[in-house]
Structure 1
Amino acid sequence: MSNHPVEPILFVSISARGHLNPLLTIAGELAARGRHGLCFAADDDARSEIEALTGESEVEFVSLGPQARTLNPTLWDDEAYKAATTQSKWKNWVALMREALDVNTLTEKYLVLDAEVERLKPALMVVDSETVYAVDVAMTRGIPFVLSVPYPVSGFFLPLLPKDYPTPLSGLSQRMTRAQRLTNRLLRLRFLTLPLQKGMPKKLMAYMKVRKQLGIANPTGSVAAKIDEATAVFAYSVFGVEYPFPAPEKLQMLGAVVPSTPRFETHSLTRWLDEQESVVHMGFGTISRLSVQQVASLVEVARRLNGRQSVLWKLPKAQQDLLPSDGEMPPNLRIEAWIPSQPEVLAHPRVRAFVTHGGGNSVGECLFFGKPLVVAPLWLDCHDLAARVADCGAGLVVTDTRTFDADEVTAQLTRVLNEDSFHERARHWAARQRAAGGVGRAADLIVGYADRLGAG
């Protein structure tokens, strides 16, 4: 057991990368500054990354056991993944909730974390907003906590949104037609029917029963209660990219949280980037599972860019079997199964644009470095982020996400690369992101909260 010179600051997150990464970055910044008493509770697969955060001080890894399949979409079977990625955004949301509302897993994680919190006695917890068992532990034990919201933060403040505000997960733009406004209002009402959807009443009743038995302070899981009790809510965007709405003072719009120190200065990938004249980066996150047709289309896009652009594509090893076997890859295409640091790739001066699924981290990091985007939304909140990218003028959206039509993707990418307005708007949002403070401001706020609460 570690001896903590101060009452700990405890970070907690599920293993899904989009949720884990911002907290890894913030904890790493605090470790680099020499802040003592840092702990990070997560599933065992995150151990090596958390222990590697050591800087002037260490970050203690706190095990919450093996990965929970239902809480990490990268581990879902194909049937569950397909159910959450249909053409119906409503059906996708219902499928996600059915999968994630796993009473046994949530109860087990709650009990393990609760025991660790009893041992550590943290003065402050910094928790991912979707890591429900962590919020429950903090509220039940009366421990001050900061909520980390890595998706469009308006989705967390649904009750505060004006009636004509684009409903979370709708993919609607702020500039709606009359028909879209009607669709938007109907979708807002439909959210109220979620507990009545097939299979949900039984799951919810079992979950409420267990929560009451455990004595959880927020037995219904009310989001409004979480917001009221939170010391602060961290969001990783800025208003102007995120559509403005009436927000409480505790909401901190930080811009993207990007590591302040490089991770792979001498990596061979850096040398390759240095040697290129102009590079398009392609990456679709850890959840997305591309089809044979989508992969073939993206190879064709790279082929059409040959002679004008080099292409760096992060394609997981498990999906590289989908690459066309009947022909050579374009000579301008480099495929990597894993990239040590996406922010460093996007920061590289040779990288001029990013083709992405539109995850919150990817969009924020790209705009932080002033690069325009082409967004092909493949997952729930990605549709909302795609609309925001288009509306803020920093990129374009692929409409044919089923096949990634090569003609459309090439045309959108050519516009983004060649039209000055996209680069100008991307640079504008880079300045706004940096002014918001990013990881430095996040660390300052956490230190301030912790010191005020007696952790330092």
Structure 2
Amino acid sequence: MSRFLFVVPPLVGHINPLVGVAAALTGRGHQVAWAGLPDAVHRLAGQDARVFPSPATWTDGPERPADIRGPEALRFLWERFLVPLADAMAEGVRDAVEVFRPDVLVADQQAAAGGLVAERLRVRWATSATTSAEFADVLASMPKVAAWNEALLQELRGRIGAPDGTADPRFSPHLVLAFTTQELAGPPARGGDRIRWVGPSLAARPSPAGFPWEWFDPERAKVLVTLGTANTDVGERFLTECARALRARADRMQAVIVDPEGVVDAGSAHGDQDKDLLCVPLVPQLALLRHVDAVVCHAGHNTVCESLWHGVPLVVAPIRDDQPVIAAQVADAGAGVRVRFGRATEARIGAAVDAVLYTPGYRAAAREIGSAFRAAGGAEAAATHLELLARDDDTYTASTRAPEENAV
């Protein structure tokens, strides 16, 4: 049997897809370990997961200004988050490789230390692409920004990677696992024949208890509104406009609004006493998606893919990072309507929700993508590709084995 080391950033949406892959590999008799923030991995993968601290501690870094977009947002992401995170993770990843001696290292695209350290220590590695945005090569039309990004990667490689290395830590030269399919992502501009389209990896995950399922009215459509786990700082106006739009349609629909900060003021009491809007800090999202008819969201890749897996059409309002790319994919595939986050009003949101609920083409497209997702194989398919990579005769292994005492 083989050993697999998963290198992940402290981001829920980047750990969750690999939880199912880890379970599939473990179920086949392989050994799995993680390099990442222990609290984050244990919370999602379970307390029994073997985790090498990398980094041992981490803060979210400086607060990002809510109004930065485009190249400035990319600069902020790389200079203030991705590069510092890679530097902070590098030593822990090296220790994990030397102790665990993986046959294959699996590095998330936003955990650049994984690919760079793997190349330096001559370990065969795969990329975990939990979002398809990098396949689009959005910098192709911005050569100066692309050159700046490449220079940043070169500097990072010089500090923690192989001095003569050439690999892009976002694209393994051996295998790229894409947790989507081309029915949504479209033809890739980058990654080529290394990409394996495995579709979403959906696995059981911790869910908040006590969701009031009895609150649902079987006579009305159900709409879920969520901005994910990383956008609560900018959501007050948008969530409030959503609440107003959906309350105006209360004769024919109910809405569940994920409101962790309690910012929604829809003109009525919150909670299960309100028969039209249910505002709650957390929801059991996978379970809930089996019951809703439409989703309004920020175009986060996990939320989009989980919704489409269930054949649910979307209203997407991208905020930053990869979200505009994912929103464009949803719209191009005909599975949803895109609105502008900063300019979305009650009227625009309401019209978009009406469109995806009552124009049959959106639901048909969502179901078609969902069928493609299911056919792709998900976590089990990803596990199979990793097994094949581990069996390759040319697999590199770490040259030393240290005492197994650093895992927690």
**Corresponding residue for 2:53?**
63
- 1:448 & 1:102 partners in 2: Cα distance? 31
Describe the superposition over 1:305-334 as per-residue Cα deviations: whole angstroms up to 9, x where unpaired.
313112112222xx21x2329643453111
Aligned residue for 1:363, secondary structure, equals helix
Distance 1:144 1:273, change over 3 A: farther
Distance 1:221 1:315, change over 3 A: farther
- 1:40 & 1:285 partners in 2: Cα distance? 24
- 1:284 & 1:426 partners in 2: Cα distance? 20
- 2:82 & 2:362 partners in 1: Cα distance? 41
- 1:291 & 1:263 partners in 2: Cα distance? 24
Deviation of the 1:412 alpha carbon = 0.5
Aligned residue for 2:33, secondary structure, equals strand
**5+ unaligned residues in a row in structure 2: which ranges?**
397-408
- 1:301 & 1:195 partners in 2: Cα distance? 41
**5+ unaligned residues in a row in structure 1: which ranges?**
1-5, 70-74, 159-166, 169-184
2:287 aligned with 1:333, yes or no?
Answer: no
Deviation of the 1:422 alpha carbon = 0.9
- What residue identity is the alignment partner of 1:435? A
**Corresponding residue for 2:38?**
44
Distance 1:226 1:258, change over 3 A: closer
> How high is the TM-score relative to the length of structure 1?
0.76
**Corresponding residue for 1:385?**
326
- Whether the aligned pair in 1 keeps the contact of 2:242 and 2:346 (CA below 8 Å) is yes
What is the aligned counterpart of 1:301 among 242, 245, 259? 245
- 2:316 & 2:372 partners in 1: Cα distance? 21
**Structure 1 range deviating more: 432-441 or 59-68:** 59-68
Distance 1:117 1:50, change over 3 A: farther
Distance 1:326 1:243, change over 3 A: closer
- 1:118 & 1:149 partners in 2: Cα distance? 25
Structure-to-structure mapping, 1:17-416, within 5 angstroms: 17-31=12-26, 33-52=27-46, 59-69=49-59, 75-78=60-63, 80-82=64-66, 85-86=67-68, 88-100=69-81, 102=83, 106-153=86-133, 155-156=134-135, 158=137, 167=138, 187-194=141-148, 204=152, 208=155, 211-212=157-158, 216-217=161-162, 222-223=167-168, 227=171, 230-245=173-188, 248-259=192-203, 267-269=209-211, 271-272=213-214, 276-277=218-219, 278-288=221-231, 289-316=233-260, 319-320=261-262, 322-324=263-265, 327-329=268-270, 331-340=275-284, 342-346=285-289, 348=290, 350-399=291-340, 401-416=341-356
**Corresponding residue for 2:387?**
447
- Whether the aligned pair in 2 keeps the contact of 1:281 and 1:354 (CA below 8 Å) is yes
- 2:322 & 2:45 partners in 1: Cα distance? 30
The size of the alignment, in residue pairs, is 389
- What residue identity is the alignment partner of 1:420? P
Q: Where has structure 1 moved over 6 Å in runs of 4 or more?
A: none
- Whether the aligned pair in 1 keeps the contact of 2:20 and 2:379 (CA below 8 Å) is yes
2:6 aligned with 1:8, yes or no?
Answer: no
Higher RCO, 1 or 2 (CA under 8 Å, sep at least 6)? 2
**Corresponding residue for 1:174?**
none
**Corresponding residue for 1:437?**
377
Aligned residue for 1:310, secondary structure, equals strand
Aligned residue for 1:355, secondary structure, equals strand
Deviation of the 1:51 alpha carbon = 5.0
> How high is the TM-score relative to the length of structure 2?
0.85
Deviation of the 1:193 alpha carbon = 4.7
Percent identity among equivalent residues?
21
- What residue identity is the alignment partner of 1:48? H
- What residue identity is the alignment partner of 1:96? L
Superposition RMSD in Å? 3.0
- 1:416 & 1:213 partners in 2: Cα distance? 49
Deviation of the 1:190 alpha carbon = 3.4
- What residue identity is the alignment partner of 1:149? A
- What residue identity is the alignment partner of 2:329? R
